[in-house]
Copies of this chain bind each other. A is one copy, B any other.
Amino acid sequence: MSIVVVGTVAFDTVETPFGKGENVLGGSATYFSTSASFFTDVSLVAVVGEDFPEEHVSFLKSRNIDTSGLQRIPGKTFHWSGRYGYDLNEAQTLDTQLNVLMEFQPDLPESYRDAEYLFLANIDPDLQMQVLEQVKAPKLIACDTMNFWISSKPDSLKKVLQKVDIVVINEGEARQLTGEANLIKAARQIIALGCKRLVVKRGEYGVLMFTSDSVFAAPAYPLEEVFDPTGAGDTFAGGFMGYLANTGDLSEAGIRQAIIFGSVMASFNVEDFSLNRMKRLDYREIETRYKSFKSLTNFRDIVI
């Protein structure tokens, strides 16, 4: 099964306590599609400017990612600059140059419209809705968003949330969206908006997944060296959706397994700047780390 992802392809300038990456490849659709490409075929919809080097497109193609939905228009590519302190859970945005992103009109190539799996990465909810109107009958739709859209376009966002199966956001966003400090109550409210499932990303504390009648807690993989958390959330989502698309198993057990694959992918991604770790990752490492998640969390049941 193939996935369509709509989001950003960007240049990032990132500072962490461990180094700096200038004008490196980034963007939600880039991280998502690279991560998902380890599991399934991915088709990408995004926009870049005239300054976007062919080398980056070649990289995506080398991962077997369909880039026919990657628009190149006059102007400069979206550029994000941010900094992380020793608390690597939260980035401080230093600068955002939207550039060509301001003119982005997602237009899905005909071959994308039968997509069975769709991921709406963090972009303007009105654009997410435009994408939803172009796809035929996806088996599974998931979406992300961010604080900026929660405060500036709450109504558009809520319309999107009604039409997706899985919402994948971080802890602060879940609280902001509902105005509820308690995460379990917040989750209940978000599910009541119309989605079936909420996945809450908590950085180094892992992931909580909620349905109306279940909760699943997955830790983050404990790492001695976290170089750059940029893209961890999208890499997580890519592994998660990629695995689901690969197996087609949408049972609770199948979806939990996909959460772990997502967590595995995110844990690799933060080990280096930009997509550098993804570029030298092979599937055996992914399987081995999945096993490590099992030993990390495993404990005996009791008999009552």
Contact of A184 among B222, B284, B287 (CB under 8 A): B222
Q: Is the CB of B259 within 8 A of A299?
A: yes
Contact of A205 among B202, B215, B284 (CB under 8 A): B202
Q: Is the CB of A297 within 8 A of B297?
A: yes
Within residues 263 to 304 of chain A, which ones have a CB less than 8 A from any CB in chain B?
Answer: 284, 287-288, 290-291, 294-302, 304
Q: Shortest beta-carbon distance, A161 to chain B, in Å?
A: 21
Number of this chain's copies in the complex: 2
Contact of A288 among B184, B205, B304 (CB under 8 A): B304
- A167-208, CB under 8 A of B: which get 1 and which 0? 000000000000001111100100000000000001011101
Contact of A215 among B188, B291, B296 (CB under 8 A): B296
Contact of A222 among B87, B215, B222, B298 (CB under 8 A): B215
Q: Give the distance in Å from the alpha carbon of A301 to the alpha carbon of B219 in the complex.
A: 15
Q: Shortest beta-carbon distance, A253 to chain B, in Å?
A: 5
User: Is A217 an interface residue when CB atoms closer than 8 A count as contact?
Assistant: yes
Q: Give the distance in Å from the alpha carbon of A185 to the alpha carbon of B224 in the complex.
A: 6
Contact of A253 among B204, B300, B304 (CB under 8 A): B300
A296 to B, closest residue via Cβ? B217
**Chain B positions within 8 Å of A214 at CB level:** 295
User: Is A257 an interface residue when CB atoms closer than 8 A count as contact?
Assistant: yes
Q: Give the distance in Å from the alpha carbon of A304 to the alpha carbon of B218 in the complex.
A: 21
User: Is A127 an interface residue when CB atoms closer than 8 A count as contact?
Assistant: no
Q: Give the distance in Å from the alpha carbon of A294 to the alpha carbon of B299 in the complex.
A: 8
Q: Is the CB of B218 within 8 A of A260?
A: no
Contact of A302 among B86, B259, B290 (CB under 8 A): B290
Secondary structure call for the A interface: mixed
User: Is A59 an interface residue when CB atoms closer than 8 A count as contact?
Assistant: no
User: Is A148 an interface residue when CB atoms closer than 8 A count as contact?
Assistant: no
Q: Give the distance in Å from the alpha carbon of A204 to the alpha carbon of B217 in the complex.
A: 12
Q: Is the CB of B222 within 8 A of A299?
A: no
User: Is A256 an interface residue when CB atoms closer than 8 A count as contact?
Assistant: yes
**Chain B positions within 8 Å of A86 at CB level:** 181
Q: Is the CB of A301 within 8 A of B297?
A: no
Q: Give the distance in Å from the alpha carbon of A232 to the alpha carbon of B64 in the complex.
A: 50
User: Is A223 an interface residue when CB atoms closer than 8 A count as contact?
Assistant: yes
Given contacts A205-B205, A217-B297, 20 further A-B contacts (CB under 8 A): A87-B181, A182-B224, A182-B226, A188-B224, A202-B205, A206-B219, A208-B219, A215-B296, A216-B296, A216-B297, A217-B219, A218-B299, A219-B219, A256-B298, A256-B300, A257-B300, A257-B302, A284-B304, A287-B304, A297-B297
Seen from chain A, the residues whose Cβ lies within 8 Å of a Cβ on chain B are: 86-87, 181-185, 188, 202, 204-206, 208, 214-219, 222-226, 253, 256-257, 259-260, 284, 287-288, 290-291, 294-302, 304
